[in-house]
Amino acid sequence: MTKDRTDQPDEVRIDTPNVPIGPPHMVPPFVTLDAVTMDNVNRAEVPSGLVPGAGDAGAKTEWDASSLEKAKKWLEETADFIHSQSYEMVEISDKMGGTAAGAGGGEMGGGTSPLGSFDRAGDLARKHSGLYTSTQQGMRQLAKDLYKAANALQKVKENYETAEGANEMSAAEMQNAFNTASSNRGKA
- Contact 115/121 with Cβ under 8 angstroms? yes
Query: pTM for this structure?
Result: 0.52
| The pLDDT of residue 122 | 82
Q: Tens digit of pLDDT for each residue in 128-147?
A: 888 889 999 999 999 999 99
> 3-state DSSP: the chain helix, strand, coil percent, rounded to 5?
55, 10, 35
Which helix (H) or strand (E) element contains residue 68? Answer: helix 65-88
| The pLDDT of residue 16 | 78
CA dihedral 137, 142, 147, 153 (to 10 degrees): 160
Cα separation values, 137 from 4, 7, 97, 132, 134, Å: 42, 48, 19, 9, 5
Q: Is 50 exceeded by the pLDDT of residue 54? A: yes
% of the chain exceeding 90 in pLDDT: 17
Bridge partners, residue 32, by sequence: 20
| The pLDDT of residue 67 | 81
Taking the C-alpha atoms of residue 23 and residue 26, their distance in angstroms, rounded to an integer, is 6
| The pLDDT of residue 142 | 95
Q: Is 60 exceeded by the pLDDT of residue 150? A: yes
The full set of domain ranges for the chain reads 1-51, 65-183
Average pLDDT, the chain: 75
188 band by pLDDT with thresholds 50, 70 and 90: very low
Average pLDDT over residues 21-25: 65
Q: Tens digit of pLDDT for each residue in 79-137?
A: 999 999 898 888 888 877 776 655 554 444 456 777 788 888 888 888 888 888 999 99
